[in-house]
Amino acid sequence: GPAPDPHRPRVHFTPESTWMNDPNGLVLHEGRWHLFFQNNPLGSTPGNLSWGHAVSDDLASWTHLPVALRFSEEEWIFSGSVVHDAENRSGLGIPGDGGPLLAFYTSAYTPAHPTLPSIQAQSVAASTDGGTTWTRFSGNPVLDRGSRDFRDPKVLWHAESARWVMVTVEAEEYELHLYTSEDLLTWEHASVFTHPEIDGGIWECPDLVHVRTGTEAEGAGASAWVLVLSTNPGGPAGGSGTYTLLGDFDGRTFTTHSSPQPLDLGQDCYAAVSFSGVQGDPVLLGWMNNWAYAAQTPTAPWRSAMTLPRTLQLEADGAGDPVLVQRLVVPDGTRTVTLEEVAGGPPLDLAQPLRLHGVLPARSPWRLTLRFGDPEGDLDLVLSGDPTSGVVLDRGAAHEAPFAVEHPRSLPYVPAGGDDEVIVDLVVDRSCVEVELDRGRGTISQQVFHGTWQMSVLLQLDD
């Protein structure tokens, strides 16, 4: 077999041997999770954009399937979403057959296109075999504004208004454009959303997600709509990144009175969107990379991973205000160790993913060093806590060769005012490191190209 690859994660999705960017068409359908993704089927750098495809029963192990929508000389297939048209309102299904899956994607027409050169418009493809094969709609594109930067359609069902909604961006205008439809083929313009505080880069890959407090069993609690929006550059932690805004959505217009919050405190979570077809808490994942350096990550021939999936919920913070929490979906059976067990002990094996759990002080400084490779070496990833500056993940010294030197540190996570402790759950899956803080109040995703097979854990507490 191929040489063991110290960078290739086990439970974070990666393409087999080619380039990947955004997650696309995330849908849970007939018990299977479908993950489509921006893919160059011909190489390890961005280009020839198409939709790659994989499926999973457990969100942890993925089966690769053939490219679902392939680029041509005249059209690249940019990001978008998939929904189940259960009532066959589009008429693109087989009558009486449970309704088609519909893919909404951006037709990024190349300069070679005869009638729409360099235009970006929204198109539809249908699958009547559960997502394996796709047929493009003859009336494409279904939505064309004559724009060169109109993209990333995310389609969702809005129950109260009994309409389908499509959220899109005018990327260079920093505008969301929302549309509604009853048949998923004709789209009516509903509203434009802008936000003066998200102005550092083009807007991409929007999603509107309905989040709730409490569990289903506890009954209906409070709910809110979250706008998830990626920008490049101008991301919260530098380079490209993803913001969230809590607000309301009436089926036509999204309104908010809050300030944008980072979805993730690290550099490596972009174009995050949610799965369609999920009944309980929304499940979202992002591209675990950053356009600032994505084409230079030291992996071959595959390039890029997805973040772990995260479930989204609403909680009340110390002041009673709603905050978004994200729990990492860590696969069952992942080896979990506690800091007490492993700090100062022998190196841990990194062939399989590892979760490190610990409870650390919120009111005094500490420093958790993950030393890759040689226990006497200095390939260190450092998570540190400080009562004034918060919890920070620093990968500046953790790479075998210089990497992302301009983006070494995460944004800080600041525990709620009254808290004495901060709960840390840190997943190391070879080059993919993700930290969940205080059960999802903060998350940090960072790639770390240490290139080694073992890790020592050192903890310094200041007491």
Out of 85, 152, 204, 429, the active site residue is 204
Among 90, 106, 313, 445, contact with ligand FRU (rule: CB under 6 A) = 106
> Would you say 81 or 106 has its CB closer to ligand FRU?
106
CA separation for the pair 205, 78 (Å, rounded): 10
Contacts of 328 (CB under 8 A, 6+ apart): 308, 309, 310, 425, 427, 434, 436, 440, 443
> Would you say 27 or 428 has its CB closer to ligand FRU?
27
> How far are the Cα atoms of 169, 299, 407 from residue 115, in angstroms, in the given order?
22, 39, 42
Compute CA 326 distance to the chain's CA centroid, rounded to the nearest angstrom: 12
CA separation for the pair 187, 208 (Å, rounded): 17
Contacts of 148 (CB under 8 A, 6+ apart): 118, 119, 120
We find the least distance from the C-beta atom of residue 271 to ligand FRU, in angstroms, to be 5
3-class secondary-structure state, position 341:
helix
Q: Token pair 């393409």 is at which residue?
A: 15
Number of CB atoms found within 10 A of residue 361's CB: 17
> Would you say 33 or 51 has its CB closer to ligand FRU?
51
Strand partners, 312: 326
We find the least distance from the C-beta atom of residue 188 to ligand FRU, in angstroms, to be 23
We find the least distance from the C-beta atom of residue 218 to ligand FRU, in angstroms, to be 37
Token pair in block for residue 52:
């790659």
Q: Judged by CB under 6 A, how many residues of this single chain contact ligand FRU?
A: 12
> Would you say 74 or 419 has its CB closer to ligand FRU?
74
We find the least distance from the C-beta atom of residue 24 to ligand FRU, in angstroms, to be 8
Token pair in block for residue 91:
């008429």
CA separation for the pair 372, 125 (Å, rounded): 46
Among 14, 18, 38, 446, contact with ligand FRU (rule: CB under 6 A) = 38
**Secondary structure string (H, E, C) spanning 361-412:** ECCCCEEEEEEECCCCCCCEEEEEEECCCEEEEEEEECCCCCCCCCCCECCC
Say whether residue 78 binds ligand FRU (CB under 6 A): yes
Among 26, 167, 205, 211, contact with ligand FRU (rule: CB under 6 A) = 205
We find the least distance from the C-beta atom of residue 380 to ligand FRU, in angstroms, to be 31
Q: Which of residues 113-172 bind ligand FRU (CB under 6 A)?
A: 151-152
Out of 22, 75, 149, 425, the active site residue is 22
* 22 part of the active site: yes
We find the least distance from the C-beta atom of residue 169 to ligand FRU, in angstroms, to be 7
Q: What residue type is assigned to position 114 of the chain?
A: P
> Would you say 104 or 372 has its CB closer to ligand FRU?
104
Inter-residue contact 370 to 381 (CB < 8 Å): yes
**How many CA atoms within 13 Å lie on the side-chain side of 458?**
15
> Would you say 174 or 366 has its CB closer to ligand FRU?
174
Site string for ligand FRU, 292-331 (x = CB under 6 A): ----------------------------------------
Token pair in block for residue 170:
């005018």
CA separation for the pair 221, 212 (Å, rounded): 6
Q: Which of residues 407-446 bind ligand FRU (CB under 6 A)?
A: none
Say whether residue 21 binds ligand FRU (CB under 6 A): yes
Site string for ligand FRU, 262-281 (x = CB under 6 A): ---------x----------
Token pair in block for residue 239:
């380079």
Among 35, 49, 156, 246, contact with ligand FRU (rule: CB under 6 A) = 49
Say whether residue 85 binds ligand FRU (CB under 6 A): no
> Would you say 113 or 252 has its CB closer to ligand FRU?
113
Active site residues: 22, 204
Q: Which residues of this chain interact with ligand FRU, rule CB under 6 A? A: 21-22, 38, 49, 78-79, 106, 151-152, 204-205, 271
